Structure 1
Amino acid sequence: MPKAPTRAQQLASRATIDAHRHDDHQIIYAARGVLAITTDAGSWVAPANRAIWVPAGTVHAHEAHGELELHLIGLPAKDNPLRLTEPTVLSVGPLLRELILAYTRAPHDDSPERRRLRAVLLDQLRASPQEPVHLPAPTDPRLRALCHVLREDPADNRTLAELGKEIGASDRTLSRLCKADLGITFPQWRTQLRLHHALVLLADDLPVTAVAHACGWSSASAFIDVFRRTFNHTPTAFLAGRRRSASA
């Protein structure tokens, strides 16, 4: 497996990096735009105040939404400050953001100053809250069919019983499979899917009301409430932050 790079790079909107893996852990942070990574276990989406921790050996692919300013940090497999064994989204505060930006700038030497910078960065990672924004991928074929329907149209508001008729499974069976296969309930999975899709649409600068309806919320206020509770800021604040980053 190749070594995980430490660098900054630009990716155009909708650009992808094919599935790959590293022999190091990797911190992936988008200072601008929205980053999605996908593994066999599901997908994770991180706006600019989140980073994604990818453990060593994890096969993952990247996709950019909006013009992406990507910052990558590779850490030896022995440096796992949070003892994480699967991809995880971490909250990025102002100090950790500046540490990530500074660490990905050249020169990438082994000077005492850079070692101290890395030590502080690891300390900040240890203090970073983990964010429950993982969208797990199903393995059961009935759940895969259900999830495919909703991925095609996140605004589909049919009940689980109505969706089950289309794919040939009862709502009780699908509800049980969700908990067993995905580890969450069907309403929780559908909300996560809609939030992921909302971040992608917001990265394309769609208005908040249009995003709310495209993702299946009954009103913009309902969407704003769920978004705020999940990401600690409103969709409008997210859009404003994107525009400030783009003009910087």
Structure 2
Amino acid sequence: MQSHARGHLVYAAGGVLAVHTERGTSIVPANRVAWTPAGFTHYHRAHGDTDMRIVFLPPSLARLVPDHPAVFLASGLAREVLLALTGPRNYDDAAPGYSRSARSRLLRVLVDELREAHEQPLHLPEPRDDRLRAIARMLHESPGDNSSLAELGTTIGASTRTLSRLFRDELGMTFYEWRTQLRVYHALVLLADGHDTTQTAYACGWANPSGFIAAFTGIIGTTPGRYRTGRQTPARAPGLPSHE
């Protein structure tokens, strides 16, 4: 666990990252950028063969992006700027790096690109209520568990109505929305570890691969097959299922 005086961007040039803060977990698939504001206690976890790049923002630019953890899709220009800012020119002492003014210009271009991008629905909020935390533990351990909210409530001693209210008030989403995001997070980890679409679908609780593909595409913006093979440029806006 660590925190920084400056906010920072973490870019997954390959693989899958998870950024954990007190607010929850940001899932960062390849070609996404996670923003963690200054002062947030956090840690990173990599899944699979991951290429992680980190860029810190000065306060003058950090104020232009959200004051909460967020994930953005990296545009082609943002990707090139991130790679340039974290490439050998800046990490290798023997190579001439960018001047301070050039680096400042590149950072401004990067922030401008992020301001034009939509936040991705890839932040899984962390419950605070003990009853929700108990459900979260169970489903993190067994993401394929298809128990209804009523069945889970019986296990922990809480009514469906109470749990539904807590999910809405604390996390800003329904139980089923939250569980779908949790399952997609686990799916990204399995895909990064080399599992195929069908194996991943069943392991994460979908009754068939087509349902998994639709849910995955709705959140990630590309199909599991394209994601797994590295063809990750979204062909459509997130939220529209694909038949691929």
Residue 187 of structure 1 corresponds to 176
Q: 1:135 aligns with which of 111, 124, 136?
A: 124
Identity level (%) = 46
Q: Distance in 2 between matches of 1:200 and 1:152?
A: 13
Residue 208 of structure 1 corresponds to 197
1:210 partner amino acid: Q
Q: 1:67 aligns with which of 40, 44, 49?
A: 49
Instruction: Say which is worse superposed, 219-228 or 75-84, in terms of deviation.
Output: 75-84
Q: Which runs of 5+ in 2 are unaligned?
A: 91-96, 233-244
TM-score, with structure 1 as normaliser: 0.86
CA apart distance, 1:117:
2.1
Q: 1:95 to 1:240 in 2, by over 3 A?
A: same
Instruction: Report if aligned partners of 2:134, 2:156 keep a CA contact under 8 Å in 1.
Output: yes
Instruction: Report if aligned partners of 1:81, 1:126 keep a CA contact under 8 Å in 2.
Output: no
Q: Which runs of 5+ in 1 are unaligned?
A: 1-18, 244-248
* Number of residues of Structure 1 aligned to a counterpart in Structure 2: 225
Q: 2:224 aligns with which of 232, 235, 238?
A: 235
Q: 1:212 to 1:112 in 2, by over 3 A?
A: same
Q: Distance in 1 between matches of 2:170 and 2:210?
A: 32
State yes or no: 1:178 paired with 2:167: yes
Higher strand share: 1
Q: How does 1:86-105 map to 2 (within 5 A)?
A: 86-105=68-87
CA apart distance, 1:143:
0.9
Residue 5 of structure 1 corresponds to none
Residue 19 of structure 2 corresponds to 37
State yes or no: 1:53 paired with 2:35: yes
Instruction: Report if aligned partners of 1:33, 1:48 keep a CA contact under 8 Å in 2.
Output: yes
CA apart distance, 1:110:
3.1
CA apart distance, 1:41:
1.2
Residue 114 of structure 2 corresponds to 125
Q: RMSD of the TM alignment (CA)?
A: 1.6
Q: 1:40 to 1:113 in 2, by over 3 A?
A: closer
Instruction: Report if aligned partners of 2:48, 2:192 keep a CA contact under 8 Å in 1.
Output: yes
Q: Distance in 2 between matches of 1:152 and 1:43?
A: 15
Residue 13 of structure 1 corresponds to none
Q: Distance in 1 between matches of 2:225 and 2:63?
A: 33
